[in-house]
Amino acid sequence: MIDVASITPSTRDFLQAIASNRKRLVLVPLIDRVEDAVALAAAGVTAFAVAAPGSILRAVSASTGSAPILCLGLVTSRDDALVARASGADAVVIDAASDGSRWSSLAREASSARMASLALVVDDATSAVAASVAARGVYLKAHAAVDLSAMTARLGSARIVAHLPSADERLLRALRGRVDAAIVESDLYLSTSFDTLREELDP
């Protein structure tokens, strides 16, 4: 059972942390070890992602100072939103495949804890739903960069976080100017070239 009274609202703004006006690309490490989050935060990384609510998210949230955390566990109910916030999330992903009124209701639940709501977009249909509810943030999960054009065109000024499988340096460079931020996994953010890449894409 969730003790709602014990949940403190978020004080960290994920959408502001990834605001780029599409002129730069914010790299958002997908963290599964707290020590990596600590080192990356010390190096100046400004936003993080964690796969699901729980102890890892709680520890990462406590260790990254002012850097906000996006929880990628899908919010499908009020309880999901509360669990994410209780674990330390500052932003959550809500399925845009649901009807617009359902999406808006869940977004209000997230907003009550001052979390940002990102609409899950995986295809043209879900990008249309995200546009119809005027989602301020979008979590765009695509199979390849070629899938992005039609979806991003529909999303207007929404702040877009892209997550593509096996995103490498070449692909990330291609995303700059098309989305605001990209999720990067440990094979990239633990590489010796990560700091240089971050300086190039997010100066």
Task: Give tens-digit pLDDT for 147-181.
Answer: 677 788 888 899 999 999 888 999 999 899 999 99
Burial 119-154 (b: 16+ CB within 10 A, else e): bbbbeeebbebbbebebebbbbbbeebebbeebbeb
At 138 the pLDDT is 96
Task: Give tens-digit pLDDT for 45-88.
Answer: 999 999 999 999 999 999 999 999 999 999 999 899 999 999 99
Residue 140 CA to residue 126 CA, distance in Å, equals 10
Cβ-Cβ contacts under 8 Å for 180 (sequence gap 6 or more): 18, 19, 20, 22, 25, 26, 159, 160, 161
Residue 142 has pLDDT above 90, yes or no: no
User: Read out DSSP for 90-111?
Assistant: SEEEEETTS-HHHHHHHHHHHH
74 or 124, greater pLDDT: 74
Residue 98 has pLDDT above 70, yes or no: no
Residue 108 has pLDDT above 70, yes or no: yes
Q: What is the pTM of this model?
A: 0.94
At 99 the pLDDT is 72
At 5 the pLDDT is 64
195 — pLDDT class (breaks 50, 70, 90):
very high
- Assigned token pair, 64: 């990254």
Residue 200 CA to residue 145 CA, distance in Å, equals 20
124 — pLDDT class (breaks 50, 70, 90):
confident
Burial bucket for residue 195 (CB in 10 Å: 0-12, 13-18, 19+):
middle
Spell out the domains of the chain, with CATH numbers in brackets: 12-195 (3.20.20.70)
Task: Give tens-digit pLDDT for 7-56.
Answer: 899 999 999 999 998 899 999 999 999 999 999 999 999 999 999 999 99
146 — pLDDT class (breaks 50, 70, 90):
low
Q: Which of 187, 180, 196 is nearest to 30 (CA)?
A: 187
Mean pLDDT on 193-202: 95
